[in-house]
Amino acid sequence: MAITSDLDNIVKWFEEEVCPSILLKVPDDKVNDGGYNVQTAHPAAFAMYIPTQDRKPPDVAAPIPSLDLKGAVVADTVYDSGVLTAKDTSFTLPAISQMTADLNAMGTMTVPIVGLLENMELSITKIGEDKGLGKMSKLDKHSFEFRWVQNVVKADGSTSPEGCKAFVRTFPPTALPGIGAEIGSASENELTYTANRVQIFVGGYEYLLVDRLSQILRIDGKDYMSDINKLL
């Protein structure tokens, strides 16, 4: 209680003796050109944590930006065509790499070609040998669902779990693992696939959707193939 009382007294002192003598510009995220109307406000003092936007006092003029801190992944699962095949494993979702072209502009300038992508490779490392490994090794097309939970630290210091999902469609695996055994160690078996469709959700928000066979390249809600397809 003594620490809490001391902090409250410090905040009160700042509010009475320091903040009234300082004027700061209030940011305007919607205007950043010559039409920016400069407004000023006195700063606010808080103990321990800066409140998030939905918890800031109504008399605080400036918006308080805050970002959640994404922490460690605490658990994950892998499903193949709806069947659980791996748990607490490691995987690497396909990277979305655009093809590039070199242009001559005061020398060589490499620019991305929107709509043309490099090969998308998925890798899954399975611990041990079981039916799940056998199912993922089938020389057929695969429809994977990846689920993982990451720890999130909010601006007020609270933590909560956040669910993430990825849906990946692939061709048959490009490589099957060479199974090894060593006394006292678990075997790690890596499978690789060429993906033709990737969709990722973070906390219910669609981060991206790439569907090569359906000509979709959607990132943060914008389909970059739409304008191209309209001209065809």
pLDDT in tens, 160-184: 999 999 999 999 999 888 888 889 8
- Reported as a single tens digit per residue, the pLDDT across 37-75 is 777 888 888 776 666 666 777 777 655 556 678 889 999
Domains present along the chain, CATH in parentheses: 2-55 (no CATH), 69-230 (2.30.110)
Mean pLDDT of 5-15: 84
Q: How far is CA 148 from CA 61, 68, 197, 224, in A?
A: 39, 17, 19, 28
Tell me which residue of 122, 110, 169, 111 sits closest to 144, measured CA to CA. Answer: 169
pLDDT at 225: 95
Classify 206 as helix, strand or coil: strand
Secondary structure class of 13 (helix, strand, coil): helix
Give phi and psi for 56, each to the nearest 5: -70, 150
Nearest C-alpha neighbor of 123 from the set 89, 80, 164, 94: 94
Q: How confident is the model at residue 29 (pLDDT cuts 50, 70, 90)?
A: low
pTM over 0.85: no
Backbone angles phi and psi of 152, in degrees to 5: -120, 130
The pLDDT of 125-138, averaged and rounded, is 94
CB 62 within 8 A of CB 25: no
**Mean pLDDT value across residues 193-200:** 98
Residue 120, CB half-sphere, CA atoms under 13 Å: how many? 21
Q: What is the pLDDT of residues 142-160, one digit of tens each?
A: 999 999 999 998 766 788 9
- What is the band of 221 on the pLDDT scale with cuts at 50, 70, 90? very high
